[in-house]
């Protein structure tokens, strides 16, 4: 058994940010300061899908003592369309992401370089957000702070504190008029700042032509639009679909529950995802291919929040390769590993 921290190169980190940007811009909004925080968060889930907006967003990730920054143009169009154009740094400038409610397509114009994944605006993705909200209520204390101003607009401020530690989990600045988040700060389970984004400028009720934005290269269209994985929310269906017998943890930290399984290559690799509302645990298992035991360490972005700062455990047992990723203590990781059957 080997243990190691998850280290990401600058390129991989920027790619990871691009994969997570949609979700981190879309979770929560706040309709009224007079409402209870729980009601506020419940009403906020559909905010992104009820506006036409264009803006410039700056995103920062803090990892291993380094600060990674990305600037992008973001467009939302109700009810299910999202668009990102990366403006900086140079290594990702020009890259685009389209999400039409059915599929998410990431590509670089002029290059045969693209990725297809499940939509983050689909009905399934919205149900995932609702399920996550219930876990947030169960595992976090929700509070409001005095109003502030972001990008020239008045905002409410909502904070989520992790029970029972009281460490900050998420802080959100939300536009008073449209209920859209204009700034967000994400913290690890230890309370350290790991991720932030902020609208530097924003324009509402600006309708852009989808034809103007939807310039998908022919090379992408010719390869078809099919995600390389399948998401299944039912454990019994997951067992039946997998090509091998799955193992499950008998122990999980307080507040975590099964969210979904992700099948790769028709079920040759299966990732089990457990969540507490903000954090996730990923337990990946697969059979060796051609005698090899390597694992990419990549997790499909299926609506999970960042696990930057997570630890990774890799081992083999009973003829299978296991990879466990989570932002947890070594003690908790060991308990999960020892409980897997």
Predicted local confidence at residue 332, as pLDDT: 93
**Tokens standing for 22?**
């949609």
**Tokens standing for 101?**
């409610």
Task: With H, G, I as helix, E, B as strand and everything else as coil, classify residue 124.
Answer: helix
Q: DSSP character for 115?
A: E
Superfamily name and number for 229-339? MucB/RseB, C-terminal domain (3.30.200.100)
Q: Which residues contact 40 (CB under 8 A, 6 or more apart)?
A: 30, 31, 32, 156, 158
Pair type for strands 53-63 and 229-232: unpaired
Predicted local confidence at residue 218, as pLDDT: 63
The full length of the chain comes to 341
- Cite the residue boundaries of each domain of the chain with CATH code 2.50.20.10: 9-222
Predicted local confidence at residue 203, as pLDDT: 94
**Tokens standing for 43?**
């009403």
Transcribe 19-72 into DSSP letters.
HHHHHHTTS-----TTS-HHHHHHHHTTGGGG--EEEEEEEEEEETTEEEEEEE
pLDDT digit string (tens) for the chain, length 341 residues: 444 443 344 445 545 455 555 444 444 333 334 567 777 777 777 788 888 999 999 999 887 778 899 999 999 998 898 999 999 999 889 999 988 888 888 888 767 677 888 888 888 888 888 888 888 888 888 888 888 999 999 988 888 888 877 778 889 898 888 888 899 998 877 778 888 999 999 999 877 776 666 666 666 555 556 677 888 889 999 999 888 999 999 999 988 999 999 998 878 899 999 988 888 899 999 988 754 444 444 444 443 344 556 788 999 998 899 999 988 889 999 999 999 99
Cα distance between residue 317 and residue 339, in whole Å: 13
Phi/psi for 162 (5° steps) reads -75, 130
**Tokens standing for 312?**
């990774």
Burial class (CB in 10 A: 0-12, 13-18, 19+), 149: exposed
Phi/psi for 322 (5° steps) reads -115, 140
Scored b (16 or more CB within 10 A) or e, 221-240 reads eeeeeebebbbbeeeeebee
Q: Which residue has the tokens 């399920």?
A: 131
Burial class (CB in 10 A: 0-12, 13-18, 19+), 60: middle
Model pTM?
Answer: 0.75
Cα distance between residue 22 and residue 266, in whole Å: 26
Cα distance between residue 6 and residue 2, in whole Å: 12
Q: How far is CA 256 from the centre of its chain?
A: 17
* Half-sphere exposure at residue 217, Cβ-oriented, CA atoms within 13 angstroms: 18
Under 8 Å between Cβ of 182 and 202: yes
Q: What is the CATH number of domain 9-222?
A: 2.50.20.10
**Tokens standing for 262?**
């992700």
- Cite the residue boundaries of each domain of the chain with CATH code 3.30.200.100: 229-339
* 89: enclosing H helix or E strand: none
């Amino acid at each position: 058994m080997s243990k190691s921290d998850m280290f990401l190169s600058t390129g991989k980190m920027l790619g990871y940010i691009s994969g997570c940007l949609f979700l981190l811009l879309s979770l929560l909004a706040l309709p009224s300061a007079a409402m209870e925080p729980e009601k506020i968060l419940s009403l906020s889930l559909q905010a992104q899908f009820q506006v036409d907006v264009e803006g410039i967003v700056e995103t920062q990730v803090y990892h291993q003592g380094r600060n990674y920054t990305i600037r992008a143009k973001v467009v939302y169009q109700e009810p299910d369309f999202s668009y990102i154009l990366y403006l900086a740094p140079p290594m990702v400038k020009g890259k685009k992401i389209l999400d039409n409610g059915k599929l998410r397509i990431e590509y670089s114009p002029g290059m045969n370089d693209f990725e297809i994944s499940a939509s983050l605006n689909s009905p399934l993705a919205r149900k995932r957000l609702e399920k996550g909200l219930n876990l947030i209520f169960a595992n976090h204390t929700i509070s409001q702070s005095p109003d502030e101003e972001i990008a020239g607009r008045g905002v409410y401020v909502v904070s989520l504190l992790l029970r029972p530690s009281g460490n900050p989990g998420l802080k959100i600045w939300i536009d008073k008029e449209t209920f859209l988040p204009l700034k967000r700060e994400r913290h690890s389970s230890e309370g350290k700042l790991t991720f932030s984004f902020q609208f530097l400028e924003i324009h509402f009720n600006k309708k852009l032509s989808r034809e103007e934005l939807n310039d998908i290269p022919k090379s992408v269209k010719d390869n078809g639009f099919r995600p390389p994985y399948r998401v299944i929310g039912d454990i019994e269906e997951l067992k039946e679909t997998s090509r091998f017998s799955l193992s499950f943890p008998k122990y999980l930290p307080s507040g975590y529950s099964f969210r979904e399984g992700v099948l790769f290559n028709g079920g040759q690799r299966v990732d089990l995802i457990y969540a507490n509302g903000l954090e996730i645990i990923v337990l990946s298992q697969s059979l060796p291919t051609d005698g090899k035991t390597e694992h990419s360490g990549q997790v499909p972005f299926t609506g999970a929040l960042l696990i930057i700062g997570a630890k990774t455990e890799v081992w083999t047992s009973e003829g299978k390769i296991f990879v466990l990723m989570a932002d947890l203590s070594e003690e908790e990781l060991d308990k999960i590993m020892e409980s897997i059957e």
